[in-house]
Amino acid sequence: MFESLVRRPILVTVSVLIVCILGIAAALRIPVQMIPDLDVRVIGIRTTWPGATPLDVEREIVIEQEEYLRSLPNLTRMVSTASASGAEVELEFPLGTDVTEMMIRVNNALTQVPSYPETVDEPRIFANAFSSNPFMFFSITPLPGNPRHVDIELAQDFVEDTVRTRLSRVPGISEVFIAGGVERQVQVLVDPARLASRGLSLVDVREALRNRNRDRSGGTVDAGKRQYLLRTVGRFDSVEALSQLVLARRGDTIIRLADVASVTLDHFEENSYTTFNGQQNLFLMLRKEPGSNVIESKQQVQLEIAAVNSDVLNPAGMEILPIADDVVYVEESVRNVWQNLLLGALLATGVMFLFLRSARVTLAGVIGIPICVIIAFLGLLIAGRTVNVISLAGIAFAIGMTLDNSIVVLESIALARSKGIERLRAAAEGVREVWPAVFASTMTTVLVFVPVAFVEQEAGQLYSDVAMAISAAILASMLVAITVLPTAMARIPSPPAPAESRARRGQLPVGERLRQRTLAGVTSVLSSTRRRWLCIVLATLSSAAVIVFLTPPAEYLPEGEEAKVFAIMNAPPGYNLTAMREIASDIERALMPYVQADRDAFERGETDMPPIAYFNMRVSAEQLRIISEPREARDVEALMDALSERYRQYPGMRAFATRGSIISSNQGGTRSINIDISGPALADIYRVAQAAYARADEIFDNPRIQSQPSSLSLAQPLLQVRPNWERAAELGLSGDDLGFIVAAMTDGSYVDEFFLEDDKIDIYLYSDAGRNIDLDALAQLPLYTAGGGVLPLSAVADIRESVDTSSVRRVDGRRTVTLSIIPPRSVALETGVARVKQDLVQHLRDSGEIPATIDLVISGAADQLDATREALLGNYIVALMIIYLLMVAIFSHWGYPLLIMTAIPLGVAGGLVGLAVLNAAGGMLPLLGMQAVLQPFDMISMLGFLILMGTVVNNPILVVHRAVDNVKTRAMPPLQAVSEAVEVRLRPIAMSTITTLFGLAPLVLIPGAGTELYRGVGVIVMFGILGSALVTLTMLP
Q: Return the domain boundaries, the chain.
A: 2-34+330-492+516-557+867-1033, 565-715+808-861
State the Cα–Cα distance between residues 1000 and 918, nearest whole angstrom. Answer: 14
Three state DSSP letters for 78-125: EEEEEECCEEEEEEECCCCCCHHHHHHHHHHHHHCCCCCCCCCCCCEE
Three state DSSP letters for 687-736: HHHHHHHHHHHHHCCCCEEEEECCCCCCCEEEEEEEECHHHHHHCCCCHH
State the Cα–Cα distance between residues 989 and 778, nearest whole angstrom. Answer: 88
What is the distance between the terminal CA atoms of the chain, rounded to a whole angstrom? 33
Contact 567, 625 (CB under 8 A): yes
SS3 992: helix
- Average pLDDT (135-143) is 91
Predicted pLDDT of residue 952: 84
Cα–Cα distances in angstroms (integers) from residue 244 to residues 209, 255, 258, 262, in the given order: 11, 9, 6, 11
Rg, Å, the chain Cα set: 36
Q: Is the pLDDT of residue 457 over 80?
A: no
Q: What pTM does this model have?
A: 0.81
Q: Is the pLDDT of residue 607 over 80?
A: yes
Q: Tell whether domain 565-715+808-861 is in CATH 3.30.70.1320.
A: yes
Predicted pLDDT of residue 497: 53
DSSP 40: P
State the Cα–Cα distance between residues 437 and 958, nearest whole angstrom. Answer: 6
Predicted pLDDT of residue 90: 92
Cα atoms in the 13 Å half-sphere on the side-chain side of 550: 20
List the one residue out of 553, 562, 403, 388 whose CA is nearest residue 464: 388
pLDDT grade for 802, boundaries at 50, 70 and 90: confident
Most confident range (mean pLDDT) of 237-251, 523-537, 863-877 is 237-251
- Cα angle value 306/310/313 (rounded, 5°): 100
- Average pLDDT (88-95) is 88
Percent of residues in the chain assigned helix, strand, coil, to nearest 5: 55, 20, 25
Tell me: the pLDDT tens digits for 420-440?
888 888 888 888 888 887 888
State the Cα–Cα distance between residues 528 and 539, nearest whole angstrom. Answer: 17
Most confident range (mean pLDDT) of 435-449, 459-473, 840-854 is 840-854
Predicted pLDDT of residue 197: 83
State the Cα–Cα distance between residues 204 and 786, nearest whole angstrom. Answer: 9
Tell me: the pLDDT tens digits for 62-74?
999 999 999 999 9
State the Cα–Cα distance between residues 428 and 493, nearest whole angstrom. Answer: 15
Predicted pLDDT of residue 1028: 83
Three state DSSP letters for 281-297: EEEEEEEECCCCCHHHH
Tell me: the pLDDT tens digits for 314-352?
999 999 999 888 888 788 888 888 888 888 888 888 888
More confident residue, 679 or 734: 679
pLDDT > 90 fraction of the chain, expressed in percent and rounded: 26
More confident residue, 1001 or 502: 1001
Q: Over the chain, what is the mean pLDDT?
A: 85
Q: Is the pLDDT of residue 925 over 50?
A: yes
pLDDT > 70 fraction of the chain, expressed in percent and rounded: 94
State the Cα–Cα distance between residues 487 and 500, nearest whole angstrom. Answer: 27
- 25-29, 275-279, 461-465, 881-885: segment of lowest average pLDDT: 461-465
Contact 65, 45 (CB under 8 A): yes
- Cα angle value 514/516/520 (rounded, 5°): 115
Predicted pLDDT of residue 138: 94
Backbone φ, ψ for residue 36 (5° rounding): -65, 155
Predicted pLDDT of residue 561: 64
Helix 974-1005 with 389-418: angle, nearest 10 deg: 150
Helix 510-526 with 529-550: angle, nearest 10 deg: 110
Q: Name beta bridge partners: 216.
A: 232
Tell me: the pLDDT tens digits for 362-389?
888 888 888 888 888 888 888 888 888 7
- Average pLDDT (831-847) is 93
- Average pLDDT (152-162) is 88
Give the DSSP H/E element, type plus range, for residue 533: helix 529-550
pLDDT grade for 448, boundaries at 50, 70 and 90: confident
Predicted pLDDT of residue 507: 45
Contact 180, 283 (CB under 8 A): yes
Superfamily of domain 2-34+330-492+516-557+867-1033: Multidrug efflux transporter AcrB transmembrane domain (1.20.1640.10)
Q: Is 133 exposed, middle or buried (0-12, 13-18, 19+ CB in 10 A)?
A: middle
Predicted pLDDT of residue 593: 92
State the Cα–Cα distance between residues 584 and 894, nearest whole angstrom. Answer: 72
- Cα angle value 432/438/439 (rounded, 5°): 95
709 cis-preceded (ω within 30 degrees of 0): yes
Predicted pLDDT of residue 504: 46
More confident residue, 467 or 844: 844
Q: Is 533 exposed, middle or buried (0-12, 13-18, 19+ CB in 10 A)?
A: exposed
Contact 172, 297 (CB under 8 A): yes
List the one residue out of 398, 333, 220, 263 whose CA is nearest residue 763: 263
Chain centre to alpha carbon of residue 507? 60
Show the DSSP H helices in 148-264 as ranges: 156-159, 165-168, 192-197, 202-212, 239-243, 257-260
List the one residue out of 995, 1029, 872, 1012 whose CA is nearest residue 945: 872
Q: Is the pLDDT of residue 521 over 80?
A: no
Q: Name beta bridge partners: 619.
A: 273, 624
Dihedral sign, CA of 195, 201, 202, 203?
negative
Q: Is the pLDDT of residue 501 over 70?
A: no
SS3 1006: coil
pLDDT grade for 943, boundaries at 50, 70 and 90: confident
Q: Name beta bridge partners: 660.
A: none
DSSP 466: H
